[in-house]
Chains A and B, each alone.
Chain A
């Protein structure tokens, strides 16, 4: 009996201390985590919706959840475009993409927000072709070359830019070789959600 009380007391104390420490860490890191998430979202938004199309974004909320964003150009009140998030299960994970469209339905940009597809196969939907190699990078360090990195889009999602949502189809988008399922998930989710959005209007 005495033993059990002692066990309970020790376990209780250990858990209590752990709980206090975790609460502390949580309160310290929470604002920073939120900030990081907001930053990532902001970056994605500006990437899929270039300022030349719409520079003012307004979130449309439903039950406290952002459903999509309306984009306006300058001070005009005419809707210039929309930004929405499309999701679909790919090969091994839910692939989440953020898509910007002009009011007419032309896609201005696609960015993969979340995916956990097979590295080397499905994960190539976010691959960026770069001509930097290991050798050139080492050379760059030794010669102290300062190369201005151009912002390059992943080649898979770049294919969507400029197409109308209605024309997005697996037959006219080059799928990643060996990863048809992941590619198709992205294409289908964008098409479905895009058509749904054009009905909302």
Chain B
């Protein structure tokens, strides 16, 4: 198992010292820089969205666990908090207070608890919540706020909305100086968290790097006016690609188990993202791509299942 002790994979297993709870809180820790950046860039309203989202997720989790005759204290295992945090990171910084509450309810109840709670959900709960909100209230979900450095009061579109594209330079995109969702704008902060997770071996390189690599390759080939002239750096730095690839596609429950499976999963996510970004009617495709590939995970797992230890094929 190449010393990668914290990866869920088929037997044989090496017992690690890390509990689910510890992993969850480490991921939350890794996400913190991005949240701080989001609050710094868009101001106090981002913090409000983050807090409402996290609190409502934990409350709904506890309530539903109680309804299922489970111990409501399980809600504090960090998974609901993480879902709430990821959901908030996928929301614009300013919105009516009830929107994150509804998002939290959908994420926890519809995407997670109905399937049987942590470990049984097919789809990434935070993304289900986000997509629900995106389809239901497109207006609120695309009302962006200006970053603190913006001079003019004209609200900026997200870079991926095609007309807005030329306004941004790479440095702005890298630091998060543009309209966008709370946790996806500052690539620098996300990169810090991602490196932390990789170093701690909580996530492996397979999914994020194949995902991002596929997106960059395909946008380079097809993204421009002619073949092989697409602006792949722009596609890497804008939208939720980095957040999605490192923090959401790698969700333990909804990703494939084997290395081969993860690579297939990452490439699939990349292809779907590019197809939606370049040809779809939505400007951003990361969340749909990950959800789509979540649905395929059981199939991937079946065809990439490793041989049981000591068993002849």
Contact = CB atoms under 8 A, between A and B. Distances in A.
B281 A177 contact: no
Contacts of A178: 138-139
B260 to A, nearest CB: 39
Interface in A136-192: 177-178, 181
A126 B281 CA distance: 22
Nearest to B139: A177
Interface in B123-160: 138-139
A198 B281 CA distance: 34
Contacts of A181: 281
A178 B143 CA distance: 12
B67 to A, nearest CB: 31
Of A91, A177, A178, A181, the most chain B CB neighbours within 10 A belong to A178
A91 B281 CA distance: 10
A178 B138 CA distance: 6
Interface residues of A, number: 4
Contacts of B281: 91, 181
Interface string A81-107: 000000000010000000000000000
Interface residues of B, number: 3
Nearest to A177: B139
A122 to B, nearest CB: 12
B284 to A, nearest CB: 15
B153 to A, nearest CB: 20
Contacts of B139: 177-178
Contacts of B138: 177-178
Contacts of A177: 138-139
B164 to A, nearest CB: 14
B280 to A, nearest CB: 12
A198 to B, nearest CB: 30
Nearest to B142: A178
A180 to B, nearest CB: 9
Interface in B255-287: 281
A151 B281 CA distance: 35
A190 B138 CA distance: 27
Nearest to A178: B138
A184 B132 CA distance: 26
A70 to B, nearest CB: 40
Contacts of A91: 281
A174 to B, nearest CB: 13
Interface string B157-172: 0000000000000000
A120 to B, nearest CB: 10
A55 to B, nearest CB: 42
A178 B139 CA distance: 7
Nearest to A121: B138
A181 B280 CA distance: 13
A91 B282 CA distance: 13
Nearest to A91: B281
A178 B141 CA distance: 10
A178 B140 CA distance: 10
Nearest to B136: A120
Interface in B110-130: none
B163 to A, nearest CB: 11
A27 B138 CA distance: 48
B169 to A, nearest CB: 27
Interface in B3-31: none
Interface of B: 138-139, 281
6 contacts: A91-B281, A177-B138, A177-B139, A178-B138, A178-B139, A181-B281
Closest 3 A/B residue pairs (Cβ)? A178-B138, A177-B139, A178-B139
Interface of A: 91, 177-178, 181
